[in-house]
Structure 1
């Protein structure tokens, strides 16, 4: 296994001009650093049929969200992807994942509802999970007004957002709603309990964009000192006692991603429990590559494949 040449060139460029460690700078600067990097690495100006910024009632106040209608989407009821952005539960937002949401909407022919859930450390666990669940339930309840088919709603996200998508699917099963048809899990973090058991966290913990110290910082900010909750299924879905009866999933990992092993383990655990999970690894890629469509050819191809899987699942 070797790095994709475009990834290798990108990492070399980043090593020549290293960004500050996120935990060493003020939180506002950390968020601005991530925003700036997203703007440089992703596709600029992706055409879209329509975007609309809205607010969704949440458990602690309004949740900002953005609805993407694909090109030629029109006013007909469409399948929907409720999308949760990555960023370690601490950074990221609607802007950092705008290009990805636009691409998924267009390629899959779905409305995407991107959720700007509460971030840590201001809002520690389980605030993000509660917001994401509430937003998904609201989308189903208001499907008619939103132009969404209530029988064709998926959840998805990358990294921390992949964790939240998996968690929302578990919460929806427990609470007997909303009805979720599919999970799109892009290099999800699935285990907060024992990071050292995952070889990829050690093997690729330095020098491959996402580093293990950054992950530790993210996790500590999100958990807010409540380490006893790390084993709860709404934090670590891989540790859920029962993974049966969940929506089918498409699980994506990257070969040089510290989160690779736990992502694959989650796909394996879903299948072992009788929940259909299709797994794919992009061996030459690094964490975050779905947001690097502007510089990585494989990223553009991978997003198109994921969109096709989403479209097919919601058409069944």
Structure 2
């Protein structure tokens, strides 16, 4: 790593004035979180999960959109819950945004990215499907991948009832959900299944730390941000130990290891500067670009993993609007009613 690179990486990881507004509040939450994650999994599950708050100006169910839930039977007969968001004025043959939620492959549910899902449904006129895939450690890799794949195939087969165009699908998610989303894109490409035209990868998990190709990409964010708020390095190791305990170098678990990313769809990658996952997100954007994939990278300097759980932060609005604008700009038939913000082609 060059001196210039070190300076840039240090600047990205320096806490922003914006984050200072909520740093003490998050510190209290992190202390409680450490106790919860030290519990046996049964007690951890019993403690429950509450999705993050959404911005007060988010689209309202019943007024701006309709939200329904149903179940989809996957390959082993298990029924998987899905949450479907549809704007009140949507058109038949709408784009499908398929959301795999974040949560380290261990926690989270269909409402983890509620603000994002509502906004994309209303502003982009998309039908949004959020999938409640099975989670580790009870269901380690590849259960989550298979659940998401099977549900997405079901969506394609039921395009008419969902009012979607099965040839216009964007996959997307945050953190572990971003991992699952790009793995879906890889599987569809490898199996020659059409339909996925874009992917949104927010604060993505792209490679197990033990498998990271350090000779090809810069990789200091795990050390640099080892004590970061919300998700620190130890938490990420814990998540991986639940999901992939043997650290197998499998590209469907660590997509950065894929032999080729050629042929993947246009991609938006958003990363946070104070996040242990920062460098693997940047590395994945670099690998996509090298493979000829149209790739947009946005970096939020001085902010930690999943900073957008705080609606009051100015960057949360930017983060959400970036997705809406990227969809509107890149995919015909999607229109947005707000001003465009500038994205930077990587």
Is the pair's TM-score, using the shorter chain for normalization, greater than 0.5? yes
Residues 133-188 of structure 1 deviation map (CA, whole Å, 9 limit, x = unaligned) = 11112111211111001221110000000000110000001111142000000011
Structure 2 residue aligned with 1:62, among 76, 79, 85?
A: 79
Higher mean alpha-carbon deviation, 248-257 vs 281-290, is at: 281-290
Partner of 2:298: 280
Partner of 2:276: 258
Alignment of 1:128-277 (within 5 A): 128-194=144-210, 197=214, 198-223=219-244, 225-227=245-247, 229=248, 231-277=249-295
The alpha-carbon deviation at position 124 of structure 1 amounts to 0.7
Contact 1:253–1:263 (CA<8 Å) still a contact in 2?
Answer: yes
Distance 1:62 1:172 in 2: 22
Contact 1:100–1:291 (CA<8 Å) still a contact in 2?
Answer: no
Contact 2:228–2:275 (CA<8 Å) still a contact in 1?
Answer: no
TM-score (structure 1 length as normaliser): 0.91
Unaligned runs of 5+ in 1: none
Aligned-CA RMSD value = 2.1
Distance 2:118 2:43 in 1: 26
Distance 1:195 1:215 in 2: 14
2:25 is the alignment partner of 1:13: yes
Distance 2:16 2:43 in 1: 30
Q: Secondary structure at the match of 2:32?
A: coil
Q: Secondary structure at the match of 2:49?
A: helix
Residues 103-144 of structure 1 deviation map (CA, whole Å, 9 limit, x = unaligned) = 222232211100110100111101101111111121112111
Partner of 1:111: 127
Contact 2:27–2:229 (CA<8 Å) still a contact in 1?
Answer: no
Distance 1:252 1:78 in 2: 25
Contact 2:172–2:181 (CA<8 Å) still a contact in 1?
Answer: yes
Q: Secondary structure at the match of 2:179?
A: helix
TM-score (structure 2 length as normaliser): 0.83
Q: When you count helix as a share of all residues, which structure comes out higher?
A: 1
The alpha-carbon deviation at position 5 of structure 1 amounts to 2.8
Residues 283-307 of structure 1 deviation map (CA, whole Å, 9 limit, x = unaligned) = 1321112333x22121112211111
> How many residues matched?
309
2:45 is the alignment partner of 1:24: no
The alpha-carbon deviation at position 76 of structure 1 amounts to 2.5
Partner of 1:313: 330
Distance 2:234 2:115 in 1: 28
Residues 205-237 of structure 1 deviation map (CA, whole Å, 9 limit, x = unaligned) = 1032211111111001001x333x2x1110010
Distance 1:33 1:287 in 2: 22
Distance 2:225 2:104 in 1: 17
Higher mean alpha-carbon deviation, 299-308 vs 193-202, is at: 193-202
Unaligned runs of 5+ in 2: 1-10, 334-346
The alpha-carbon deviation at position 314 of structure 1 amounts to 2.8
Distance 2:165 2:59 in 1: 25
Distance 2:332 2:128 in 1: 15
Alignment of 1:120-131 (within 5 A): 120-131=136-147
